[in-house]
Amino acid sequence: MRLAERYTTVLARLGSKFGHLDTELDYGTPFQLLVATVLSAQCTDKRVNLVTPRLFADYPDAPTMAQAEPDTLFEYIRTVSYPNSKAKYLSGIARMLTAEHGGQVPQTMQELVKLPGVGRKTANVVLAFAYGQQTLAVDTHVFRVSHRLSLVPKRCTTPLAVEKALLRHIPAEQLAPSHSWLLLHGRYTCTALRPKCTKCELADLCNSKDKQPINHS
């Protein structure tokens, strides 16, 4: 199967299964999505959604959160992974947004990645779901599924390399939904250790017969 046909088939099947999607993180504003996405690094969305209601109730926006010390924020997020580091990130993000952006979350990759603890993946999630931009975030699930389905060459060994390869073949208008489709397929079907191959809509396209774990954080 030609690569272009492979992409068309994969996206058509996943799009038919999942349809239009938002992120599984709970949020009400771009700032809250940014915070939730930072908290979700190496942590499940389910766990993040358990801690953010209380956090957002007391600190709903950047100017409010900017008044809190990291130790205070830690008490709200202590059950997520790496809470000490993330509390410092959230404090730094809130203060930088308040001081330099009037409390608003910027709408460009260049400005977002200047914020503490914000990399390309987090920035792309915010741009796609908060601002409706056609970007594609590569997390561990997207990375794994892209390789197992041979959407990207084996030489793409970093998230950025995978992102660039996917961008060359996915239509611009499908970038944001494709992120969600690939992510959810990896989260619930094409899992790292015990993929559900017998229930997979893409099993006939998968070249990873041995299903060796493929993970990249």
By residue count, the chain amounts to 217
121 is catalytic: yes
What separation in angstroms does the CA of 111 have from each of 95, 96, 121, 174, 194? 14, 11, 14, 24, 39
Integer Cα distance of 209 and 204 in angstroms = 10
Distance between start and end Cα atoms, the chain: 30
Angle formed at CA 34 by CA 190 and CA 69, multiple of 5 degrees: 125
Catalytic residue list contains 139:
yes
List the catalytic residue out of 121, 154, 199, 209: 121
- In contact, 200 and 208? CB cutoff 8 Å: no
C-alpha span between 91 and 72 (Å, rounded): 10
- The dihedral over CA atoms of 12, 133, 20, 7, expressed in degrees to the nearest 10, equals 10
Catalytic position from the list 26, 58, 139, 209: 139
For the annotated catalytic residues, the residue numbers are 121, 139
